[in-house]
Amino acid sequence: MNYRTRMFSLVCVDSAIVLVSIYMSHFLLNPFSSYIVNDLIITTSITLLLTHHLFSYIFGLYRRVWRYASMEELVGVFCVVTSAIIITAIVQKIAFGEIYARGLALTFMLHILILGSVRFWWRFLQSVLIEIKNIKVQPKAKRTLIVGAGSTGRMLLRQLKEHPLSGLRPVAFLDDNSSVQQLQIGGLPVAGTIKDISKVIKRYNVEHVVIAIPSLNKQRLNEIITETKKKVDDLQILPTIGDLASGKVSISEIRDVSIEDLLGREPVELDVEGIATKIKGQTILVTGAGGSIGSELCRQLCQFNPRQVILLGHGENSVYNIEMELKSKYKNEIDFFTEIADVQDRDKMFSIMFQYKPAFVFHAAAHKHVPLMERNPEEAVKNNIYGTKNVAEAADAAHVNTFVLVSTDKAVNPTSVMGATKRVAEIIVQNLDKISNTRFVAVRFGNVLGSRGSVVPLFRKQIANGGPVTVTDPEMTRYFMTIPEAARLVIQAGALARGGEIFVLDMGEPVKIVDLAKNLIKLSGFTEDEIKIEYTGMRPGEKMYEEILNEDEVNPVQVFPKIYIGKATEEKTEDVLLRIGNSIHNQEALRDTLLKLTNKKNSTEPNYQEIKKILTAAH
């Protein structure tokens, strides 16, 4: 039914309701009256008809989708009828010198009753038709348990009922709210609390579980997933409310549980207003723009309405892909420019900086693969050290406002070439900050889930191939964060920068790599008997444990929730580069020089309790 046809139908139905209300009230008050038409009835009918349609338009009654009618629609009906009756009473007073209150009061009640009943009767008929349609389809649908009976769970239930072809048939709710226990919501029982999930799955023959609690913390989510996976393989989740662009729940938003959902820590939230104040209308340059972190930086920076974004990268395909993605989304809102260039090309870096004169530079370009850099230390030096030096000095010369170096926790007491080169890169930008008007800062974070070269894609590939999943050591631990969170931290650091800081994230507790592997096996629908785990031993340059603070990096200060500034020891750039330059042509000597320059202790095992004490004291 098109809009005009629908409007005409509603006007006709409402006109009939108005007339029925008036004449029924007249009959009830004057059952033995011999006349059905007089000046009072005609005047009242015409006035009420006109005002009803006028206020229905004003209050949007004809634009409501009554299939989804709720209390809000009932309030709208009340406002329309009340306003129309008041105007009609005024007209009666003017025309006849008095208000026929009994007749108007009865008309008011009948008007609301009939109008509301017709609207909600239409909703009821729609629901019956949906149920009939569901009965035909649902024998093939999976019996589904919804975890969470709050607003999100209720909206999801409505969506599933209205879309029987989704293949999911809701049979029960679970919720920890004691006030809804043993009650029914939308025709479904609240069968227990979340701790009863195993019993409820068995009692209702559940084949599929959907978690519909957007505010659920990571630890609780992990517990639910662990219990659910013991009974059913099909488990899905709704994203957080912040990730639902429409602000409403849709069955299209249901997705499989990912390893990111099991990350045992809560993400850092941004100071949106503070960042927007600095980014809006500015020119931003991102190096390594085609990489995992660089491309996510570009995506999130664009949310703050910069004037221009310069996408600088060495790989033409990856830079092209992110350019096309951003241009299709932001179209004429932001100007995008791509520069295919190598950060080792010093002249090119200076040329680009002076051409665009960006306000912010986010330097994400780097070689990050630990084993590969162990075999090619000179390439790590050229890209991570001299490349950073080129971009940073070009930023200084072009009077860039803020330069943010994307660093790593592997730069703390490094045992690898990659970590050592990133620590030297930190030294370079810290020393530049002392002599430059540009604010130079570095941001350290741990391993990024799902990034190129990370362990998660490797594990997924190994699982897809039937195993085994290879883990270096059962005791090896790492700090983990998601790609979007890493990008948020880098952007937040740029907004907080005063110059010279090394920003560090309190990343919670380290995660054992073997536990990560086990969770991925479980999420993939297998058991550890089906997909074996093999231990291969540590590779060159790897640490058993990662650190977030060097013991010499004293007095960490919290500047934002979960973000700290570590005060690093001072090194002179010239001395460091001179010693590296003397060893550049000998791989073994170069590797030894890098580690001696940057690793300040013999033991590679950090004292987690001491680190925790330092971070807690910084609160």
Kind of pairing between the strands at 502-505 and 563-567: antiparallel
SS3 at position 179 = helix
Q: Backbone phi, then psi, for 283, in 5-degree steps?
A: -95, 125
Could you identify the residue written with the tokens 């006035």? 47
Q: What secondary structure letter does DSSP report for 539?
A: P
Please report which residue ranges of 446-601 form alpha helices under DSSP H.
455-464, 483-496, 513-523, 573-583, 587-598
Distance of CA 126 to the CA centre of its chain: 34
410: annotated active-site residue: yes
Residue 508 Ramachandran class (φ > 0 left, ψ -120 to 50 alpha, else beta): left
Contact criterion met (CB below 8 Å) for 118 and 17: yes
Q: Are 373 and 416 in contact (CB under 8 A)?
A: yes
Residue whose C-alpha is closest to residue 256's, from 435, 583, 520: 520
Catalytic residue among 161, 368, 389, 410: 410
Long-range contacts of 90-96 (CB under 8 A, 24+ apart): 91/43, 91/44, 91/47, 92/40, 92/43, 92/44, 92/47, 95/39, 95/43, 96/39, 96/40, 96/43
**Strand ranges (E), 226-368:** 234-237, 255-256, 283-287, 308-313, 335-340, 360-363
Torsion of CA 579, 580, 583, 587, to 10 degrees: 150
Q: Residue 565: how many CB atoms within 10 A of its CB?
A: 22
Other Cβ atoms closer than 10 A to 533: 18
Contacts with 92 (C-beta within 8 Å, 6 or more apart), sequence order: 40, 43, 44, 47, 98, 99, 100, 104
Catalytic residues: 410
